[in-house]
């Protein structure tokens, strides 16, 4: 269990529990936390495959600077999931290679 | 197009202090920060701060951030834009800002860049595996979102950040197997080193990471010893079963915006990398554009707050909001900076600033 249950100094205020989907699999997290944090807590560390050598990649900076954590979120590629907030029912997919904006279907993403 | 007197870019201790100073003097200020709430690095610092009394040593970073942010939201004339990222600064003093998914233009008569720093990485085989995280990332995950980075951590770097984050990992219930430090000596303050040693964490000075291994993520790391010439010594390898390698190998100024704006920059390793030339009062080579905090040279929150006040004071003064005792206030701030940079812990900063040349550029 990677969620911190007790801390000597900090109290964590969490949003309500919500369900979301990672590569089709249903997972649970808290509304408003970064998608990467919810995935990490659920044991998911590989977020994408690198563009040239298809190597597994996770997050690195966790504050939206480095682009190591790009994933496909509700059909939109290249989303930095370390800062993108978790919402009920959001669909998150492993990104393989470069994101292709033409994948976005009308009415999906934002 | 929106208008403001002074745009402050970045809401860490430097930016908050700059915005507060200028707004208190009567200037119209817009503070723009990319996070959910202002505070910068401080919102993750659970430890009591070092520094001098004037800069709130002994107070926890999270509490300093909360106090500054409270003051900021209650001050008339100061508008705080959270979740907004400045993308560019142009000749006509217009800022391009992404705010809540919208593109906004903001004309500011003066601008203060206080964007802080970003973490350096270290080169070793498999350093791109998931599980190799920056110390800042570990702090964000753990202290903001309440999620542990893993079960067993190898910390790389025994400067203050490596030591403090090791201790914070312990507080969160994560096992730190060892701390590796390439230099022959511990770089951080001895109080912090003593704290991690009391917690039973061994510090390997004169060692570095040889490689990480694992398939879809870190499963372990091999370290080895460095000789006097920083050459690795074969046969001294040690293997640690860890799922996290945490890199605390220094910061470099987050200066993209200064590059884009066309500020004259210089490479000064002692200050963390490329830093802007600036006058003694923190104005860059672009008139009306000021810097404060880690973006001007990686230092500490205490000096970031003083630099912020100085930049805020000078920007406000330039718009006609100078206090009656401007010179005295300014000198007092310069004195505080000199005091913070005195003594053995300030050697690097003093050397770095000296390399920039007096008075730091041709302004
Ligand atoms: C583990 C750790 C322990 C530390 N302990 C101490 C200590 O005990 N004492 C001490 O004095 N110092 C300490 N420090 C150092 C201190 O935290 C930093 O020096 C200080 O936060 C620098 O302040 P800053 O305002 O320059 O930058 P930051 O605090 O980094 O703030 C910069 C802000 O700007 C925002 N930003 C960046 N780019 C943009 C943009 N383009 N648009 C909008 N916003 C942007 C960022 O999101 C961030 O909120 C510690 C640091 C760490 C990591």
Selecting from B34, B60, B217 the residue whose C-beta is nearest the C-beta of A58 gives B217
CA-nearest residue of chain B to A9?
Answer: B46
pLDDT at residue B106 greater than cutoff 50: yes
**Over residues B262-279, mean pLDDT:** 96
Residues B168 and B261 in one domain: no
Which of B138, B141, B247 to mutate to test binding with chain A, by most A CBs within 10 Å of its CB? B141
pLDDT band at B295 (very low <50, low <70, confident <90, very high): very high
Three-class DSSP category at B21: helix
pTM of the model as a whole? 0.91
Structure confidence by residue, pLDDT tens digits, B22-65: 999 999 999 999 998 999 999 888 888 766 556 667 888 889 99
B213 close to B126: Cβ distance less than 8 angstroms: yes
Residues B108 and B163 in one domain: no
Residues B300 and B232 in one domain: no
Q: Which of B202, B225, B247 is the last residue of a domain?
A: B247
- Structural domain boundaries enclosing B343: 2-118+251-360
Residues B161 and B255 in one domain: no
**Over residues B305-327, mean pLDDT:** 98
Distance, CA of B333 to CA of B238 (rounded, Å): 49
Residues B217 and B148 in one domain: yes
pLDDT band at B133 (very low <50, low <70, confident <90, very high): very high
Residues B145 and B104 in one domain: no
Distance, CA of B100 to CA of B92 (rounded, Å): 24
CA-nearest residue of chain B to A47?
Answer: B130
Residues B347 and B266 in one domain: yes
- Supply the CATH number for residue B146's domain: 3.50.50.60
Residues B54 and B195 in one domain: no
Q: Are strands B251-253 and B117-119 parallel, antiparallel or unpaired?
A: antiparallel
Question: Quick check: A41 contacting B, CB < 8 Å?
Answer: yes
pLDDT band at A84 (very low <50, low <70, confident <90, very high): very high
Residues B218 and B306 in one domain: no
Looking at domain A17-93, its CATH architecture is Roll (3.10)
The atom of ligand 1 lying closest to the CA of B298 is 19
Give the count of beta carbons closer than 10 Å to the beta carbon of residue B309: 24
**Over residues B138-144, mean pLDDT:** 95
Instruction: Enumerate the residues of chain B whose CB falls inside 8 A of the CB of residue A45.
Output: 130-131, 216-217
Interface of chain B against chain A, CB under 8 Å? 34-35, 46, 60, 62, 101, 118-119, 121, 128-134, 136-138, 140-143, 145-150, 171-173, 216-217, 254
Q: Which of B228, B247, B266 is the last residue of a domain?
A: B247
CB contact (8 A) between residue A62 and residue B148: no
Cβ-based burial of B121 (10 A; exposed 0-12, middle 13-18, buried ≥19): middle
pLDDT at residue A109 greater than cutoff 50: no
B301 Cα: distance to centroid of ligand 1 (angstroms): 7
Q: Which of B247, B267, B288 is the last residue of a domain?
A: B247
pLDDT at residue A106 greater than cutoff 50: no
Count of structural domains, chain B: 2
Give the C-alpha distances (Å, rounded to integers) separating B88 from B32, B100, B260: 13, 16, 7
Residues B22 and B99 in one domain: yes
ipTM of the complex: 0.92
| The pLDDT of residue B357 | 79
Structure confidence by residue, pLDDT tens digits, B150-187: 999 999 999 999 999 999 999 999 999 999 999 999 99
Domain boundaries, chain A: 17-93
Residues B197 and B161 in one domain: yes
Residues B41 and B14 in one domain: yes
Q: Give phi and psi for B31, each to the nearest 5.
A: -100, 120
């Amino acid at each position: 269990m990677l969620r911190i249950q007790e801390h000597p100094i900090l109290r964590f205020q969490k949003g309500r529990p919500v369900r979301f989907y990672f590569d089709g699999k249903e997972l649970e997290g808290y509304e408003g936390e970064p998608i990467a944090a919810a995935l990490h807590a659920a044991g998911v560390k590989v977020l994408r495959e690198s563009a040239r050598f298809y190597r597994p990649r996770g997050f690195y900076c966790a504050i939206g600077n480095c682009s190591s954590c790009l994933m496909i979120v509700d059909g939109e590629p290249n989303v930095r999931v370390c800062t993108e907030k978790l919402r009920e029912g959001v669909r998150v997919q492993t990104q393989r290679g470069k994101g292709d904006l033409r994948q976005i279907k009308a009415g999906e993403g934002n | 197009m929106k208008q403001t007197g002074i745009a402050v870019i970045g809401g860490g201790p430097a930016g908050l202090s700059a915005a507060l100073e200028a707004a208190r003097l009567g200037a119209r200020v817009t503070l723009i920060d990319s996070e959910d709430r202002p505070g910068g690095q401080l919102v993750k610092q659970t430890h009591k701060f070092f520094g001098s009394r004037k800069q709130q040593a002994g107070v926890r970073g999270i509490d300093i951030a909360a106090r500054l942010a409270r003051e900021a939201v209650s001050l008339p004339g100061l508008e705080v834009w959270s979740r907004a990222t400045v993308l560019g600064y142009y000749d006509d003093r217009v800022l391009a800002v992404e705010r809540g998914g919208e593109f906004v233009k903001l004309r500011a008569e003066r601008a203060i860049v206080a964007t802080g720093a970003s973490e350096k990485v270290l080169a070793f085989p498999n350093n791109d595996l998931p599980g190799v995280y920056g110390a800042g990332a570990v702090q964000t995950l753990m202290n903001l979102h309440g999620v542990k980075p893993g079960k067993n951590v190898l910390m790389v770097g025994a400067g203050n950040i490596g030591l403090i984050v090791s201790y914070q990992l312990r507080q969160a219930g994560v096992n730190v197997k060892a701390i590796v430090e390439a230099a022959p000596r511990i770089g951080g303050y001895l109080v912090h080193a003593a704290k991690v040693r009391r917690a039973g964490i061994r510090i390997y000075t004169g060692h570095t990471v040889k490689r990480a291994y694992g398939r879809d993520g870190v499963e372990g790391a091999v370290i080895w010893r460095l000789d006097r010439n920083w050459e690795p010594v074969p046969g001294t390898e040690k293997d640690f079963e860890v799922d996290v390698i945490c890199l605390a190998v220094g910061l470099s100024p987050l200066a993209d915006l200064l590059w884009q704006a066309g500020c004259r920059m210089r490479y000064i390793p002692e200050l963390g990398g490329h830093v802007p030339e600036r006058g003694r009062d923190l104005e860059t080579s672009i008139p009306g554009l000021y810097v404060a905090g880690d973006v001007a040279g990686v230092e500490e929150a205490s000096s970031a707050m003083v630099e912020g006040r100085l930049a805020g004071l000078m920007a406000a003064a330039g718009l006609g909001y100078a206090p009656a005792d401007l010179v005295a206030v300014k000198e007092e701030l310069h004195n505080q900076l000199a005091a913070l940079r005195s003594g053995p812990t300030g050697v690097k900063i003093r050397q770095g600033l000296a390399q920039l040349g007096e008075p730091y550029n041709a302004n």
